[in-house]
Amino acid sequence: MCKRYNVVFVLAFLLLMMAMPVQSYAYRSVDDAISWAEDQKGSGAYNDGVYNYCWTFARDTYAGPAISGVGSAIAAWNYNGSILGSRHSDSDIPRGAFVFFAATSSNGGYGHVGLYVGNGKMIHAWPKTVGQSSVNSGGKYLGWRWPVAWTPDSPHDDPDDPDGSLSLDKVQGSKEGKDDWENSFELSMDDIYDMDFRAKLVQEDGAWPSDTEAFFYLSLDKKLDSGDIFLGSKERNLTKENAKKRSIYLEDVDMSDYITSSGTYYVLTKVEFDGGEDKSSSSDSKQRVKLIVSDVPVPDLTLQSLRLNNGSISLNGQELYGMTVNVRNIGEASAKNRFRIKYEISGPDVTDQWRLIADDGFDSVPLAPGNDQIHSTNDSFSAAPVAEGEYRLRACVDYKKTVSESNEGNNCTETTVFVSSAETELKAMHRFWSTKNKAHFYTIDEDEKNLVINKYTDYEWKYEGIAWYSYDTPHDDALPLYRFWSKKNSSHFYTISEEEKEHVEATYTDYEWEYECVESYAYDYQKEGTVPVYRFWSKKNSAHFYTISKAERDAVIEKYTDYEWLYEGVAWYVYPTPTALNPVYRFYSKKNRSHFYTISTSEKNNLILNNAPEAWKYESVGWFAYTYGQGNTLPVYRFWSATNKSHFYTISEEEKDYVIANYSDDEWQYEGTVFYAYKNWEFGTLPVYRFWSKTQNAHFYTASEAEKNDLIANYPDVWQYETEAWFVPQNP
C-alpha cells in the first residue's frame, strides 16, 4: 500500500530516508526525470517491507522537495497550492505528468501515484521495488497533475516541433454575453443586436503555435474575398494551454454598424499563425455563421413527427405501408401558398441514397403561425422494402420551395424502421378430442384454441396438443386446407381437394356440412421436410380423424374395425416440427463492447424497438441454425455475465456443466438453449469461429472466414482465437 507518514512510523521512515539516494533539488526536465526514474527500477529504497512511499518517489523524479502537509498520494491529489498544476481527469496524459489513483483498502486509504512515461506506462514505487507497469494496473484512475514548480517543461511539449500546426474546426456566434453558440441566427431590421464570435481551433501536430490571430469578416456569400467587411481580429498565445481544442474570441461586435438592409449574411474567419499556412472558412457550413435578416415576419414550416400509419416502427418484407407527418408553422406569418410534401426511403435494397416513394401534391391549406396540419399517404407504396435490415424514412415539407421561409434548413425529418424477412413462419395446428361428440377438432388459430380451452369442459373439447405445423397464409405452392362443420354430426371435416370441397358444397345441406373457412395451407405432394397426414372415417361416429403419427395410424388400423375407423389414405403433407432454417441475428453493444446472437424474432424485435443503437445495434444475420433439434444437431447453450456485460455460447455439454458448477450467477448465469447446430463437421456445413478478448472481457463468434482471418492478422492483442465453436448449414 502507498502509505501516508504518521507518528507511528516516524522511526521507520527516518531509517528508510537514510537509505534513499540524496537529492540535490536541482529541478529537472521531463527527459531527465524519466531517465532518473528508469535508473531506479528494481530499487527497494522506497519500500520498508510494510509500506511503499510512492509520493516520495514521484517528487524525487523531479528532485522536488517535500510539500508541507502533503505526505501521501491522495494528499498530493487534493493539494491546492501552486507547486502542482490543475487536476485533469482526461486520458490524454502528457509525458512526465504525475498520474493519481483513488484511495482504497488495498493501498491503505492513501491512494497511489506514478510518473507517466508515455504509451500507457508509468514508473512507480509499488510493493517491494520501483517498477514500470500499465496505467490501467494502478487502480481507479483519478487523473493527472503537472509539476509546474519543479520542471521548466510544459505539458505536451514536443522539442522536435516547437511550433506545430492547427486547423479551423468551427466558427460560431452568440448573442453578446449569452454564451449560447450557434451557426445560424434569425434577426430582423428592428432588432439587430451585439454579438460575440469565436473561431474554434484544433491542434493537428506538434505543439500549439505560439502566436495565432483570428480575423473575422462579414460577407454576402460563403467565401472570403476582398469586398468583405472587416469586423475585427483577436490575437492569442495558445502554447500555455493544455486542451486539444482552443478558441479565439471576438466580443461585443455591434452588428448594426455593418448590417444596413435585410438579407442573408455570413461571418467568416481567417486564422494566421507562426510557421504554418493560413486557415480560412471553407464551404463547410460549420465554418461560418449564417445571419438571416428579415424586414417582415415570415413563416417557417417544420415537420414535428414522422411515423408509419400502422403505428409500428417495424415492417415485414414486402408489407405495404404509408406514412403520416405533422406539419407545424413555427414562423411569425401564415404560410399562404400551398406546399407539397415528398416521402423517401433509404436502406439495404435501395441503390440510390434516397428513393422517392410518394409526393402528396398540393394537399395543403394556409397554415397560421403556431398551427399544425396532419398529412398522410395511403398504405400502397410501390417501393415496399424487401431485404431485411434497417431502413430510414424521410419526409420533406415544401420541397418545391413555394413558401418563402425564414429557415429553409428545417423542412425535413427522418425516422428509422426495421424490416424483417418476408418469409412466412410455420404455425402449430392444435388438436382437440370431444368425448361428448366422439370427434376431433383441429385449428391453427391461437385465439380459437384459447377460446375452446377456456369455454368448454374436457368432456366437451379436451386439448390434446400440437398435431403438426403448417402455414396460416399462402406460401409458395401450398394449397388451402378447407374446413367444414356438420351440425348434424357435431364434427368437422378437412380437405385439400378442390374437387372434394365442391362436391360437398353441391351435395349436402349446410345442416349436414357447412363450409367454414380456409384453416391453413398444406401440400399435395411430399415436399422436403414434410410428412403425410393420414385420414380416417368413422361410420359409427360420423366423424373424421387426422394424424401424422405412423404409430397412431397403425394402432387405429389394428385395434378398430372399418366400421369404427376406416383408413382412407394420405390426405395432404405438412411439417412435423418448425425445423426450417432460421437466421441467427447479430447485435453489437458499443456500451458493453460485446456481441449478442439470437434466433428469436421476438427477441430481435424487442432489442431493436426498446434499445438505443449504442445499447444494442443490429448488425446483420450472423449465420443460419435450427430452432429445434434434428438429425445430429445439438443444443447451443447461452450464458450472461452481469460482471462482464457479455454473453457466452457453447455447444459443449461438459463446458456448460463446468461453468454452471464453478461460477456464480453474477459471473455466468445460465440462460438455456438458444438454437441447435452441429458439434462436428458434416457435408454442407461451415464452422462458427470463437474468439476471446481479455481486454473487453467478451467472446466473439463469426461464420465469416474473412472476418476470422482479419482478427487474427490485425488484432492479436485484442482478440485471441480459441476454436471452432460449432458447425451450421451453409447460408440458404
Specify the pLDDT at position 416. Answer: 84
CA of 89: how far to CAs of 99, 150, 241, in Å? 10, 21, 15
Give the span between the Cα atoms of 184 and 194, in whole angstroms.
Answer: 15
DSSP for residue 663: S
640-669 tens-digit pLDDT: 999 989 999 999 999 999 999 999 988 999
In total, the chain counts a number of residues equal to: 732
Q: What is the pLDDT of residue 359?
A: 79
**CA 728 to CA 704: how far, in whole Å?**
12
In SS3 terms, 118-148 reads as ECCEEEEECCCCEEEEEHHHHCCEEEEECCC
**C-alpha 112: how far from chain center:** 36
| Cα 376 to Cα 324: distance, rounded to the nearest angstrom | 4
Q: What is the CA radius of gyration of the chain?
A: 38
> How far apart, in whole angstroms, are the C-alpha atoms of residue 130 and residue 679?
50
Coil, helix or strand at residue 519: strand
Q: Where does 614-681 show beta strands of DSSP type E?
A: 617-625, 634-641, 646-650, 669-677
Residue 465 CA to residue 451 CA, distance in Å, equals: 15
**Rounded to whole angstroms, how far apart are CA atoms 681 and 730?**
12
CA distance 1 to 119: 25
Predicted local confidence at residue 276, as pLDDT: 63
Nearest to 153 by CA among 23, 27, 38, 56: 27
Q: What is the pLDDT of residue 316?
A: 63
In a 3-state reduction of DSSP, which class is residue 576? coil
What is the pLDDT at residue 351? 63
Residues of the chain with pLDDT under 50: 3-26, 158-162, 242, 382
**Count of helices and strands (H, E) across the chain:** 10, 40
Residues 667-697 have pLDDT tens digits of: 999 988 898 899 998 877 899 999 999 988 9
Q: What DSSP assignment string belongs to 301-341?
A: EEEEEEEETTS-SEEETT----EEEEEEE-SSS-B-S---E
- What does the pLDDT read at residue 112? 92
Residues 243-264: tens digit of each pLDDT: 556 788 999 999 989 998 888 9
